[in-house]
Chain A
Amino acid sequence: MNDAVELQVRQIAADVFNLPLNQVTGQTSPKTVDNWDSVQHLNFVLALEEAMGIQLEPQDIEQIRSVGAALDVVRKKREK
């Protein structure tokens, strides 16, 4: 599932958490990234909203516990 949306979400995570793109996978999460704290989580959420043109609900924001989970949420939002 190496499509454009996935690449975009990984790129956003790479930018926000300052990681090389090739090190960002679906499993990338607060457990694997030191600076994924609450401030950076909010930045990640805002960056996703802005770049993907979506509006995330409070429950979506909670669900984003990894880059893979973020991708699922983004896909679901964009289907609607």
Chain B
Amino acid sequence: MEEVTRDQIDRAIGDKDISAARRALARFWRQSPNVAAAGFVVSRFETLRPHIALTPCKIAILRSFTVEPAVPLLRATAFIGGVDLNVRVGDFDTYVQDVLNPASWLYAFSPDVAILAVQSRDVAPALWEGFADLDRAAVSGAVEQTVERFRQVVEAFRQKSPAHLIIHGLQIPPTPAEGLLDRRSDWGQAASFARINHGLFDLARSARNIYVLDYDGLIAGRGRAAWYDHRKWVVARMPIAAGELIYLAREWMRFVYPIVGRVCKVLAVDLDNTLWGGVIGEDGIDGIQLDQGYPGDAYRSLQRAILDLYRRGIVLAVCSKNNPAEAMEAIADHPGMLLRPEHFAIIRTNWADKATNLREIAAELNVGIDSIAFLDDNFVEREWISEQIPEATVIDLPGDPMLFAQALRECPFFERLELTDEDKARGRLYAERRMRTELEATATSLEDFYRSLRMKAIIEPVNAKTLSRAAQLTQKTNQFNLTTRRYSERQLDQRLAAPDWRAFTVQVADRFGDNGIIGLAILRIQDGVCEIDTLLLSCRVIGRTIETALLAALAREAIRDGATKLVGWFVPTKKNAPARDFYKSHHFVAVQEREGATLWELDLVANSIASPQWVDVKEPAHE
């Protein structure tokens, strides 16, 4: 990808091409989310601000350390995410007075969100610095006092302000005072800070709009060794290394987005090379990558992350360029898939442009286009959506599929601060609605479709003129072929010379024209049992109920020849999945298994097979 330059951004702003300027700024910020670039991004957004719609939000930062260098990073991140932050930072360590005093700047500012950015060494200095000097009673006393002070601050704040409050949890020291011994005691230094955090989480759960930011988790995720900059702490009370500040800013925004309602409700996903490796239309269902190991696991991890969002109430949709039947088969039947048709509220697999599809998905689900997120491995598709639908959230996927799941999990627009049972069920309810609607639609329209075809089937015994075509069909037909037995012309002719063998061809015509001979059945009738040796249909007519018409004709033929049972093997191959359920769906019963093959049986006395009304069948003339 080509780098975006400051000049390009300034040219777009000069040309008053606001949406191009915004896109370029977003790309610029993705390629260099650092302290210097933050200054640039913020200044350009201040220029653009009158021309674009942003969600305003006032944030007060109450702190015990230097946070100022994180503020431009925070504002730049927020601008790119569509939020215009007004940030005020309190004085060092004055947060207790600021919160307790109703006349303080804090309440005059009337923030939407307040962040209590404190660190262990400041709020529990005895536990941080002089831990080895303390006995167990002093340690437990310090833990209780610390939680109690937080409680007083929270209660005072809650009484005076309706704002959301985000409290930094306390971090665990990277090198505990007593070394390895620290973990030998359940009142060690690390354990004591964990107890305080436990108290904070309890506190947050018991009050409205109070949250704890897992600050220790954030530091550990980045690496304790990388996070701290001791020199800056000594010189400027800035404990965090320059390159790590962006992660603190992003963590703050993770709370801010759901607070201001900047959230995505729908995730629209691509299929090929996103949900699985490879292209279903080229590689086939056996060729796409979804196995355990590399690279299948990368795609399965992404599916797990998507499934987690579904459990959080995010509505899922498929938006991909595929043949619908192939895509659906992979989603429904591939053993490696974690996501299944029942998880998707909408499945759009077609060759139309994805912006049109996304707009239709939003309309159908009755949500704003700004609550749709788009997940696609293809950079060109992502750019197209950013350009066509600037309001939509386009998730930036890295090139390496191994990183897909993490990129999705880090997307802050799926964060929720509360979750009701109704929220949790939302994804499922939408998906169920789709399946019902589809069933109704197909039940009526398929029948109409069949009728509209005005199909005629001519079923007749193989004769000298059709023998060659019949043998050819056994050689070439792979998909709808129950036994895949291959016959040469001579072999077939020999079979038919015996009195107990029969063979029938099927010729199908419809209002669009004559398809010629496209099906074949070979029967052997012995001792009251009619065995279907071969039953096949060319793929051109699969799914039009011709197979049922043929089977009904065969049953009548069997009865005429004195059979009371119709039996047939299904011999699975790599390609004949379309025929797998043929006998079962016509109420045959499995009676025998042999080397993966199944023998199916239908009692012709107790059962009959109805020929579909919409196929006009012409049967063999009988003397």
Residues in B with CB closer than 8 Å to A55 are: 231
Task: Establish whether residues B36 and A58, one from each chain, have CB atoms under 8 Å apart when the complex forms.
Answer: no
> B238 an interface residue at 8 Å Cβ cutoff?
yes
Task: Establish whether residues A16 and B35, one from each chain, have CB atoms under 8 Å apart when the complex forms.
Answer: yes
In A36-80, the 8 Å CB interface with B consists of 39, 42-43, 46-47, 49-51, 55-58, 61
Residues in B with CB closer than 8 Å to A57 are: 231
> B475 an interface residue at 8 Å Cβ cutoff?
no
> B68 an interface residue at 8 Å Cβ cutoff?
yes
Instruction: Return B10 CB to nearest CB of chain A, in Å.
Output: 9
In the bound complex, how far is the Cα of B37 from the Cα of A62, in angstroms? 23
- The number of chain B residues with a CB under 8 A from chain A is 22
Q: Say whether, besides A42-B66, A43-B68, A50 and B34 are in contact (CB < 8 Å).
A: yes
In the bound complex, how far is the Cα of B235 from the Cα of A3, in angstroms? 31
Q: Say whether, besides A50-B242, A58-B234, A42 and B36 are in contact (CB < 8 Å).
A: no
In the bound complex, how far is the Cα of B37 from the Cα of A51, in angstroms? 10
In B21-45, the 8 Å CB interface with A consists of 34-40, 43
> B380 an interface residue at 8 Å Cβ cutoff?
no
Task: Establish whether residues B234 and A50, one from each chain, have CB atoms under 8 Å apart when the complex forms.
Answer: no
What residue in chain B is nearest A11 (Cβ atoms)? B36
Task: Establish whether residues B236 and A42, one from each chain, have CB atoms under 8 Å apart when the complex forms.
Answer: yes
Q: Say whether, besides A39-B68, A42-B66, A47 and B235 are in contact (CB < 8 Å).
A: no
In B218-235, the 8 Å CB interface with A consists of 231-232, 234-235
In the bound complex, how far is the Cα of B240 from the Cα of A50, in angstroms? 12
Task: Establish whether residues B68 and A42, one from each chain, have CB atoms under 8 Å apart when the complex forms.
Answer: yes
In A1-55, the 8 Å CB interface with B consists of 11-12, 14-18, 21, 39, 42-43, 46-47, 49-51, 55
Q: Say whether, besides A50-B242, A50-B243, A43 and B40 are in contact (CB < 8 Å).
A: no
Task: Establish whether residues A47 and B35, one from each chain, have CB atoms under 8 Å apart when the complex forms.
Answer: yes
Task: Establish whether residues A47 and B242, one from each chain, have CB atoms under 8 Å apart when the complex forms.
Answer: yes
What residue in chain A is nearest B10 (Cβ atoms)? A20
Instruction: Return A72 CB to nearest CB of chain B, in Å.
Output: 19
What residue in chain A is nearest B42 (Cβ atoms)? A18
Task: Establish whether residues A18 and B35, one from each chain, have CB atoms under 8 Å apart when the complex forms.
Answer: no
In the bound complex, how far is the Cα of B38 from the Cα of A51, in angstroms? 12
> B537 an interface residue at 8 Å Cβ cutoff?
no
In the bound complex, how far is the Cα of B76 from the Cα of A15, in angstroms? 13
What is the interface of chain B mostly: helix, strand, loop, or mixed? Answer: helix
Task: Establish whether residues A43 and B72, one from each chain, have CB atoms under 8 Å apart when the complex forms.
Answer: yes
Contact of B34 among A21, A51, A61 (CB under 8 A): A51
Residues in B with CB closer than 8 Å to A50 are: 34-36, 242-243
Contact of A43 among B6, B39, B235 (CB under 8 A): B39
Task: Establish whether residues A46 and B39, one from each chain, have CB atoms under 8 Å apart when the complex forms.
Answer: no
In the bound complex, how far is the Cα of B562 from the Cα of A15, in angstroms? 93
Instruction: Return A17 CB to nearest CB of chain B, in Å.
Output: 8
In the bound complex, how far is the Cα of B32 from the Cα of A12, in angstroms? 12
In the bound complex, how far is the Cα of B43 from the Cα of A11, in angstroms? 14
In the bound complex, how far is the Cα of B234 from the Cα of A68, in angstroms? 26
Residues in B with CB closer than 8 Å to A58 are: 231, 234-235
What residue in chain A is nearest B38 (Cβ atoms)? A15
What residue in chain B is nearest A38 (Cβ atoms)? B236
In the bound complex, how far is the Cα of B69 from the Cα of A20, in angstroms? 21
What residue in chain A is nearest B238 (Cβ atoms)? A42
What residue in chain B is nearest A50 (Cβ atoms)? B242
Contact of B43 among A18, A42, A47 (CB under 8 A): A18
In the bound complex, how far is the Cα of B72 from the Cα of A11, in angstroms? 17
Task: Establish whether residues B231 and A12, one from each chain, have CB atoms under 8 Å apart when the complex forms.
Answer: no
Interface centre among A11, A18, A43, A61 (most CB of B within 10 A): A43
In B235-257, the 8 Å CB interface with A consists of 235-236, 238, 242-243, 245
Interface centre among B36, B40, B43 (most CB of A within 10 A): B36
In the bound complex, how far is the Cα of B35 from the Cα of A45, in angstroms? 10
Task: Establish whether residues A46 and B235, one from each chain, have CB atoms under 8 Å apart when the complex forms.
Answer: no
Residues in B with CB closer than 8 Å to A42 are: 66, 68-69, 236, 238
Residues in A with CB closer than 8 Å to B6 are: 11, 21
Task: Establish whether residues A15 and B37, one from each chain, have CB atoms under 8 Å apart when the complex forms.
Answer: yes
Instruction: Return B332 CB to nearest CB of chain A, in Å.
Output: 49
Residues in B with CB closer than 8 Å to A56 are: 231
What residue in chain B is nearest A17 (Cβ atoms)? B39
Instruction: Return A6 CB to nearest CB of chain B, in Å.
Output: 15
Task: Establish whether residues A46 and B231, one from each chain, have CB atoms under 8 Å apart when the complex forms.
Answer: no
Q: Say whether, besides A18-B43, A49-B242, A50-B243, A43 and B231 are in contact (CB < 8 Å).
A: no
In the bound complex, how far is the Cα of B68 from the Cα of A17, in angstroms? 14
Residues in A with CB closer than 8 Å to B235 are: 58, 61
Residues in B with CB closer than 8 Å to A43 are: 35, 39, 68-69, 72
Task: Establish whether residues B69 and A18, one from each chain, have CB atoms under 8 Å apart when the complex forms.
Answer: no
Instruction: Return A59 CB to nearest CB of chain B, in Å.
Output: 10
Task: Establish whether residues B36 and A47, one from each chain, have CB atoms under 8 Å apart when the complex forms.
Answer: yes
Q: Say whether, besides A11-B36, A18-B43, A46 and B234 are in contact (CB < 8 Å).
A: no
In the bound complex, how far is the Cα of B235 from the Cα of A57, in angstroms? 9
In the bound complex, how far is the Cα of B37 from the Cα of A18, in angstroms? 10
Task: Establish whether residues A15 and B36, one from each chain, have CB atoms under 8 Å apart when the complex forms.
Answer: yes
Contact of A16 among B39, B68, B231 (CB under 8 A): B39
Task: Establish whether residues A51 and B36, one from each chain, have CB atoms under 8 Å apart when the complex forms.
Answer: yes
In the bound complex, how far is the Cα of B238 from the Cα of A18, in angstroms? 23
Task: Establish whether residues A15 and B40, one from each chain, have CB atoms under 8 Å apart when the complex forms.
Answer: yes
Interface centre among B43, B232, B242 (most CB of A within 10 A): B242
Residues in B with CB closer than 8 Å to A46 are: 35, 69, 232, 238, 242, 245
Task: Establish whether residues A15 and B68, one from each chain, have CB atoms under 8 Å apart when the complex forms.
Answer: no
Residues in A with CB closer than 8 Å to B232 are: 46
Interface centre among B38, B232, B245 (most CB of A within 10 A): B232
In the bound complex, how far is the Cα of B74 from the Cα of A68, in angstroms? 29
A51-B34, A51-B36 known; 4 new pairs, CB 8 Å cut-off, are A21-B6, A39-B68, A43-B72, A47-B35
Complex A-B: 17 CB contacts under 8 Å: A15-B37, A17-B39, A18-B43, A21-B6, A42-B68, A42-B69, A42-B238, A43-B68, A46-B35, A46-B242, A47-B35, A47-B36, A50-B34, A50-B243, A51-B35, A58-B235, A61-B235
The list of the 7 closest CB pairs from A to B, nearest first, reads: A46-B242, A47-B36, A47-B35, A15-B36, A50-B242, A15-B39, A15-B40
